């Protein structure tokens, strides 16, 4: 087992981080335990639950399925970057109002997946929202209030 460390430089929520990591370190562990951005959650570490979803160069990706070294030179966004200081993003606000979260463990991943979805689908119908959401597991809510929240956010973002 080689424990050789590699220097990487990753930009997260607009801030550049230079670190050295083992080749085997998961990107999710790197974000959570090296950068201490623990808003990105880990539910399965095998790519199914979606809790660890981040944006990798602007696109949703599962950080548990990548190594930190693969992020070298790339741009990452996490849930901590969604709100503008204390002002929630439209989707965060809608999730609050529609009761789209219970334990909140799945929530960061869902916010990252669905914020991206809304950016490219400004006027989705319920079925489209459900399809986009179907890769993120939530065990608490039964999804209905999350769907409501996404539709509400879409409506508000259209203005």
- Catalog residues that contact another protein under the rule CB under 8 A: 1, 22, 24-25, 32-33, 36-49, 51, 78-80, 82-83, 88, 92, 95-97, 99, 101-108, 111, 126, 129-131, 133-147
Is residue 39 a contact point for ligand FES (CB under 6 A)?
A: no
Alpha carbons 3 and 154: distance in angstroms, whole number: 47
Answer for which of 13, 22, 34, 140 binds ligand FES (CB under 6 A) is 140
Task: Locate 64 and state its tokens.
Answer: 């548990």
Q: Is 42 helix (H, G, I), strand (E, B) or coil?
A: coil
Angstrom distance (rounded) from CA 90 to CA 125: 17
68 binds ligand FES (CB under 6 A): no
From 15, 103, 119, 123, residue interacting with ligand FES (rule: CB under 6 A)? 103
Q: Is the dihedral of CA 17, 18, 19, 22 positive or negative?
A: positive
Q: Which of another protein, ligand FES, none lies near 24, with the C-beta cut-off 5 to 8 A by kind?
A: another protein
Long-range contacts from 56-59, C-beta under 8 angstroms, 24+ separation? 58/116, 59/116
Task: Give yes or no for residue 42 binding ligand FES (CB under 6 A).
Answer: yes
Residue ranges that bind ligand FES, judged by CB under 6 A: 42-45, 47-52, 62, 64, 101-106, 138-141
């Amino acid at each position: 087992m080689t424990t050789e460390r590699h220097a990487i430089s990753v930009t997260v929520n607009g801030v550049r981080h230079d670190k050295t990591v083992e080749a085997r370190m998961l990107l999710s562990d790197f974000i959570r335990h090296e950068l201490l951005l623990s808003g990105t959650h880990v539910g399965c570490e095998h790519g199914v639950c979606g809790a660890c979803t981040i944006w990798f160069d602007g696109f949703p990706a599962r950080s548990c399925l990548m190594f930190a070294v693969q992020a070298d030179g790339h741009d990452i966004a996490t849930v901590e970057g969604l709100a503008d200081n204390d002002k929630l993003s439209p989707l965060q606000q809608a999730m609050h109002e529609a009761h789209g979260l219970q334990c909140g463990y799945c929530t960061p991943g869902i916010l990252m997946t669905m914020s991206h979805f809304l950016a490219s689908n400004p006027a989705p119908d319920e079925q489209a929202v459900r399809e986009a959401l179907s890769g993120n597991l939530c065990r608490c809510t039964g999804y209905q209030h999350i769907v409501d929240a996404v539709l509400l956010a879409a409506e508000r973002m259209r203005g």
